[in-house]
Every structure is written in structure tokens, then in C-alpha cells.
A and B are shown apart, each in its own frame.
Chain A
Amino acid sequence: EAGVTQFPSHSVIEKGQTVTLRCDPISGHDNLYWYRRVMGKEIKFLLHFVKESKQDESGMPNNRFLAERTGGTYSTLKVQPAELEDSGVYFCASSRQGEWNTEAFFGQGTRLTVV
């Protein structure tokens, strides 16, 4: 069974540009989450999808961030325009629906550097 995969693994962009991160969850996992770790800080929750619906996006830092999950399958996280403070590692995770404490499986992360 394939795990959670994220693309790209690394991205270096200039301030003001747009970047789109992609996450492919484990097949059959209704829950999909985005987390972010800014340099020197804890990993922080960004948002949560249940299938194609946004369940909670309270962790999204501002309106420069837009997440979508087309058809309840893969998800994208777009940053437009990117700022220096957006640099960090973006993690995606997925889990089965139903059990609130079920294991979340994480991808390897996308390291975003804004210069």
C-alpha cells in the first residue's frame, strides 16, 4: 500500500511568486490534514478536510493560503503571493474516518524556501 506522498519534496521560490504543493493521501482515507513547521517552531495544524469538504481551516495563517481537495482525493495547498515567513516544511497527513484517535499517516513533507 502506498503511503502519503507529497510533491515536490523541495521548492525554492522568490518572494511574490506562487507555489502549489500537492498531497496524495492513502487510498480510502477520508481525512486529510495539512501541517506546517516553520524554522525553529513546533509543527502546527493548518487545516482538515473530510473528503472534499473543509472541516476546519482555523490554522491557515492568512488569505494568501488556499487549500483544495478535488473529488475528495488529492489535495493542493497554494501560496499566493509567497512571503519570506512562509518558508518551512509543509506536512500532509491522512487517516481513516470514524475513530477520533486513529493513527494519522504523514508524508515526507515539502520543504519550501522563499527567498
Chain B
Amino acid sequence: SQQGEEDPQALSIQEGENATMNCSYKTSINNLQWYRQNSGRGLVHLILIRSNEREKHSGRLRVTLDTSKKSSSLLITASRAADTASYFCATYPLNDKIIFGKGTRLHILP
């Protein structure tokens, strides 16, 4: 089952621009996490936002959570070539296990 769905599936932007990707989910959650995966490698945790939080920042990352709309967004400001990766949202539904979305493939153009 797919709890989280990222949008868009793929995104190409120029270096220095901001990148925004969205995640929608279906059921109430405890928290939502964003992970990054470079090609063919393991995932790296970026940020965790709890269900009672609306916004969190970490360096160039900004995550928002709207529980009424069951959606989250990840904003990467001033993108760099090293940001090229796949980005996954992962949700923890109440009384259930973690579920990852299919991911957004981000490509930063030089």
C-alpha cells in the first residue's frame, strides 16, 4: 500500500534555484520524515516533523506539514549540484509501521 505520494515524480531545475516537492498521505500520522537517496545508495535522513508541528527548518531545507490537507512540502533553497538525488517522504500512520512514498527525482542542472 502507498501511504505517501510525492509530487512531482521528477524535477529538473537550474543550480541556484529553489526546489519544491510535495507529499500527500491518506491516514492520520504520528510524524512525517523526509529522506534523500543518492543514486544506488542508502537513504539519508533529512528532517522529521511531528503531527503537532507546522514548519521546520534545517539549513537550506524547509518542511511544512498541513494535517488538515494531509500533505507536506519540502523546499530546498539555493540548490546545488550535490542536491541531485531522489527524495522520499515517509509517514508513520497511527498504530502502524513506516511507509515510504515513491519519491521525487531531483536533477540540478549546471
Q: Is A bound to B?
A: no
Mark A residues whose CB is within 8 Å of B.
none
